Amino acid sequence: MKVAGKLLKKPLAMLLVFLILFTMILPAYEVNAETYHIPITVKTADVRDAGTDSSIRAYLYSHEDLEYYDNDLKRWSPTNKDLWTELSSSANDHERGDCRTYYYEFPYDPWMLKSARVYHGGGGAASGWLPEYWEIGIPKIAGGLYYKTVRKTEYQPGWAENWLYKGDYLYLSLSAHTKRNITSDPVSSMTRGVLFSETDANNFSGNSGKEWGCYNNIPIQITDQYGTYNPYHRDDPPAPIKLEVDDRFENGTHYTFQQNNDSFTFRPEKALWDKMTELDLDYLTFSFEWQFKTRSTNNATRTSNVAFKRKVFRLANLSIASSRTEVVETNLGGTNYYFNKNYRIVRITANITNNVGANNTTLANNFTATASLLKGNKPDGEKICDLDISRNGSQIIFTGIIPDNDTTGDDGIYLRVENAKSRDYVLAGNPNQYFSNYKVDTVSPVF
C-alpha cells in the first residue's frame, strides 16, 4: 500500500465517529419503504497495466449505518455487510480503458447517503488497479438523477499514488452533495390560516369537525432538490420543537397541538375561541418551528407561520340620517286636516366587512340580528324604539321611527345590535355605535 493510500484511512475513523448521530423517529410517522437503484460508473485508466481481474466492490454508507474496526482485516467495516455491491460481471470488467456502469440497491432516501468507497477486494492474477475516475448517480424522488464524478486528482494527490491493491479503497464523503436544500416551509400551504367559528352555544366548527386541520391544503410537504414530498413519510423526518404565539395573545396560555403524518389537530378549540373573543382578536399567528436533522439537511431549522382566524364580520362606516313625515288626519265630515306632526324616521346605514375575504353581499343577505335605538352614550340606556333591518347589496340598513312621548334625550343616541350573525360568521368588535352629534327631542321629535 502506498503512503498516500494510508493517509486516507487515518481521518476515516474520526469522520465516521463524528457523523454517527443518534436520532429517534416518532412512532406515529410511517416512512415509505423504497429502494433506489443507484448507478456507479467506474473508468479504468488507459495506461499500461492499469487493468485488473481482481474483485472490485462499492460500499455506500447511510447515516443509519455503524462501522467497526475489523482487527483481522485491519480496516473499518460496515456492521451491515450486505450493503455493498460487486463491480464486476465478469473477470475482465476492469481492463485497461474500460468504463462500465453497475447498479447499487440503496434502501434509504438519497439524503441519507453519507459516504461511498470503491474497494479493492483482492484476488486475480493482475492485482494492481489504476482507476481514472468513478461516478455516482444520486436519485430524485420523482425520478431522474444528478451525478457526482470523482476523479483521481480528487481522492489522492498524485498519479503514481493512485494504484490500488487488496484492501485499498477510495473514500468520498457525500453529505455535502446529498443534504437536502429545502426551498419551502413544511406547511407553506397553510399560510392562509385556519378558520373556525361558533355555530351555537356548545358546538364549534373548524375545518375537520370539532378539531381543525390544515385549511384547504395538501398534506404537510416540503420541496427540495429531490422533489416535493411529505417529510413525515420519508427518512429523517423533522419534529416540531417550538411553538410561539404573537404578542397580541396573553402569555402563559397553553394549548395542545397534535401532529400526524399529514396535518395538525388542536385542542381545545373552544378555549382558543373564548380567549380570542375576550381579547377581541380576529386572528392571531402561531409560529411552528421544525428542526430537521443537520446530518441530512442544510438550513435545518424551518419556521412556518400559521394564522388562526375567527370567522367574523364588522359593521363599518356607519352613517345616520333622518327625514320628516307629514301625517294626515281625517276630521268629522270627511274634511282632511294636515298637521305638522313630525314623525322623524331615523335611518342608520352600515357597510359589512370581513376578515377572510368572504363575499360581503352574501354576508349581508344572511345577516340576522335584533336592533334598537337607545338614549345616551350607554348600551343599557332607555330604549327609544326598535329598528327594522333591511339590506342593500353589502349594506345593512337599520330604520326606526322616533315616537312622540314625554321625555327628552340630550346625550346623543346609541345603536344597539344583539345576537348578530351571518350564518357561521359572528359580529366581532364593538358592534354598537354612539352618535354623540345626534340629539333627539321625543316630545317634539327633531334631530
Q: Residue 47 belongs to a domain with what CATH number? A: 2.60.60.20
Q: Are residues 294 and 332 in the same domain?
A: no
Residue at which a domain ends, from 247, 275, 310: 310
Mean pLDDT: which of 184-188, 220-224, 299-303, 387-391 is highest? 387-391
Residue at which a domain ends, from 154, 178, 202: 178
Q: Are residues 147 and 262 in the same domain?
A: no
Quick check: 227 pLDDT over 70? yes
Q: For residue 319, how many C-alpha atoms fall within 13 Å in the half-sphere facing its CB?
A: 5
Q: Are residues 302 and 393 in the same domain?
A: no
pTM of the predicted model over 0.85: no
- pLDDT for 107 equals 82
Tell the residue number behind the cell numbers 436519485, with chain if given.
139
Alpha helix (H) ranges present in 216-322?
269-278
Average pLDDT, the chain: 71
- pLDDT for 90 equals 62
What phi and psi values does residue 176 have, to the nearest 5 degrees? -65, -25
Q: Are residues 92 and 222 in the same domain?
A: no
Q: Are residues 37 and 162 in the same domain?
A: yes
Quick check: 350 pLDDT over 70? yes
Name the residue among 258, 248, 325, 249 with its Cα closest to residue 288. Answer: 258
What phi and psi values does residue 64 have, to the nearest 5 degrees? -90, -10
Residue 447, in any domain of the structure: no
The predicted-structure confidence for 95-146, as pLDDT tens digits, reads as follows 899 998 888 888 888 898 888 888 887 776 667 888 888 888 888 876 777 6
Residue type at position 126: A
- Quote the domain boundaries for residue 235: 188-310
Residue 138, in any domain of the structure: yes
pLDDT higher for 151 or 434?
A: 434
pLDDT higher for 159 or 314?
A: 314
DSSP letter at 4 equals H
Distance CA 14, CA 22 (A): 16
Q: What is the CATH number of the domain that holds 230?
A: 2.60.40
Residue 247, in any domain of the structure: yes
Distance CA 5, CA 373 (A): 94
Instruction: Yes or no: say if 55 and 122 are a contact pair by the CB < 8 Å rule.
Output: yes
What integer is the mean pLDDT of 193-198?
Answer: 52
Task: Pull the grid cell for residue 139.
Answer: 436519485
**Dihedral sign for Cα atoms in the order 433, 435, 439, 440:** negative
pLDDT higher for 397 or 206?
A: 397
| Residues shown for the chain | 447
pLDDT higher for 365 or 259?
A: 365
Residue 446, in any domain of the structure: no
Q: Are residues 391 and 253 in the same domain?
A: no
Quick check: 375 pLDDT over 70? yes
Q: Are residues 106 and 200 in the same domain?
A: no
